[in-house]
């Protein structure tokens, strides 16, 4: 590998099925980093939301926001001196990304006000990495991991979430954002492809959005 530039806090983001957890876990293992993984499977509203989105969207998004905030507040204030840096498989702003597409406008307005109040006390990642995959590949990954409540997620829903991510990333003008198009690689099963990602992620980027097609 090339000489790598390490950040204190890296967040891995992407749509459902993009490989966020797989990449964050492998990075943490390889570089002795502290890892923060979203505990979404413990959310009792998630299966209900996929069955009846209009009824369960608001309690789902509120419960996710509370859980994400509490986890990040705890983990990022309790530093581990024996770890090289911190890597997470989500960025707290995903709460806005998903809620914008799932909530009614009046619900979203209230939600965004709560979000703004809570975010003032959380540190931002030094680098936000967004893994971009096209919808058909996302669906393939979702089928492979076999979570029953995810199997009926529609392509339109995935498209809407992806669009919401891109719209939101454009507003984050004060952060380093790296969008990696991973449609042509398999970083989970191909070590060479994984090394390509590592060499791209751990570079010294200026603030702004950087887009790279990995191949």
> For residue 47, which of 31, 30, 59, 36 has the smallest C-alpha distance?
59
> What's the whole-model pTM score?
0.93
> What CATH number labels 9-213?
3.40.50.300
Helix, strand, coil content of the chain in percent (nearest 5): 50, 15, 35
3-state secondary structure (DSSP) of residue 180: strand
Spans of the chain below 70 pLDDT: 1-2, 41
pLDDT per residue over 47-74, tens digit each? Answer: 899 889 999 999 999 999 999 999 999 9
The pLDDT tens digits for 121-144 are 899 999 999 999 999 999 999 998
- Distance, in Å, from the CA atom of 83 to the CA atom of 65, rounded to the nearest integer, reads 27
pLDDT the model gives residue 2: 66
Contact 125, 92 (CB under 8 A): no
Q: What value does the mean pLDDT of the chain take?
A: 94
Q: Do residues 205 and 154 touch, judged by C-beta distance below 8 A?
A: no
- Among candidate residues 203, 204, 181, 205, the one with its CA nearest the CA of residue 193: 181
List 117's β-bridge partners, or say none: none
Structure tokens at 48: 């209900």
Q: Give residue 10's pLDDT.
A: 98
Structure token pair of residue 183: 């449609």
pLDDT of 172: 94
């Amino acid at each position: 590998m090339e000489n790598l530039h390490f950040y204190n806090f890296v967040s891995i983001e992407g749509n459902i099925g993009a490989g966020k957890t797989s990449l964050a876990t492998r990075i943490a293992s390889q570089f002795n980093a502290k890892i923060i993984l979203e505990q979404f499977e413990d959310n009792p509203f998630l299966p209900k939301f996929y069955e009846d989105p209009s009824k369960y969207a608001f309690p789902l998004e509120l419960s996710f926001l509370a859980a994400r905030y509490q986890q990040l507040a705890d983990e990022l204030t309790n530093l581990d001196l024996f770890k090289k840096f911190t890597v997470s498989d989500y960025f707290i702003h995903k709460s806005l990304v998903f809620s914008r597409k799932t909530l009614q406008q009046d619900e979203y307005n209230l939600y965004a006000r709560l979000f703004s109040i809570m975010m003032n006390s959380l540190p931002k990642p030094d680098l936000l990495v967004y893994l971009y995959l096209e919808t058909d590949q996302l669906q393939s990954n979702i089928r492979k991991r076999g979570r029953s409540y995810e199997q009926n997620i529609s392509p339109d829903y995935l498209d809407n979430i992806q669009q919401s991510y891109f719209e939101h990333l454009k507003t984050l003008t004060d952060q380093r954002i790296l969008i990696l198009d991973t449609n042509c690689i398999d970083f989970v099963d191909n070590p060479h492809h994984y090394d390509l990602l590592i060499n791209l992620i751990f570079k010294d980027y200026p603030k702004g959005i950087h887009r790279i097609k990995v191949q």
